[in-house]
Amino acid sequence: MHIRLKREGWIMVYLPSLSCADLLNLEADVKELIRAGHSLFHIDLMDGHYVPNLCLNLDFVRALKERFDCTIDVHLMVEDPFSYVQACADAQVDYLSFHFDAVYHPYRLLTQIQSCGMKAGIVLNPGNRPEDIADLAKIMDYCLIMSVEPGFYGQKFMDVAYKKIQYLDILRKRENLHFQISVDGGIDVESGKKCKLLGADMMVMGVFSFFHQKLPVYDACREYVEKIEGDQLWKHN
């Protein structure tokens, strides 16, 4: 179960990024996240080429699925996302996103992901324009807006993300579309409030919100969401 906050007919979802957790204490952190109401986990899958880094892998995803009742959102930071689709489906990934600038045929990849039973998302880097994916908005399930350069956590939120959230929210309202808007990177209380106000549906939580705080993970989650949502009622779905 993950916490969703119903507000004026739409839902905000907070996704803990497990690459930001205590890697020597991952199982304990996952248990505390679930206890706090968060079981939709964001996992960065890197190949060391698209970004010069490596982190968690699909063996970890399989272990999570076997051990916990959870939903997995995998963010592919790889040069050849086509080659990962079937493996992600076999690992029971629920949401799968790829970088728009990593492929020549994004429409084909979106439909391939969906045909494997997963929700398909497009990732926009800080230097990518949301206008360039407008024609794909009718088939994508979500757009992940990077508010930092991909590959490393701990970076400061980049304000360029705000205009992209606003553009995509206006686009889906005008065209009566149903894709979700997710934001990832450097989100703290101030930027989280503004992302919510501009129309974000999902926010990826890292070291400025859920992890590496003075409070334990459970308390940090609760405190952060309460700061964002104010006196809104919590609802466990």
User: What is the length of the chain?
Assistant: 237
Catalytic residue among 29, 73, 141, 184: 184
Query: What confidence score (pLDDT) does residue 12 get?
Result: 80
- State in words which class domain 3-55+122-228 has: alpha beta
- The verdict on pTM exceeding 0.85 is yes
Looking at residue 231, what is its pLDDT?
Answer: 55
Regions in the chain scoring below 50 on pLDDT = 1-9, 233-237
Residue 116 carries which side chain, given as an amino acid letter? C
CB atoms within 10 A of CB 156: 12
Residue 153 has a pLDDT of 80
To the query of whether residue 44 is one of the catalytic residues in this protein, the response is yes
* Chain mean position to CA 161: 14
Spot the catalytic one: 44, 73, 141, 201.
Answer: 44
Per the DSSP assignment, residues forming a β-bridge with 203 are 14, 183
CB-CB contact of 211 with 22 (8 Å) = yes
| 29 HSE (CA, 13 A, CB side) | 21
Give residue 152's pLDDT. 82
* Strands, E assignment, the chain: 3-7, 10-16, 40-46, 71-77, 95-99, 119-124, 142-146, 180-184, 202-205, 235-236
Digit-coded pLDDT (tens) for 44-59: 999 999 999 998 999 9
- Please state, as a whole number, how many other Cβ atoms lie within 10 Å of the Cβ of residue 128: 18
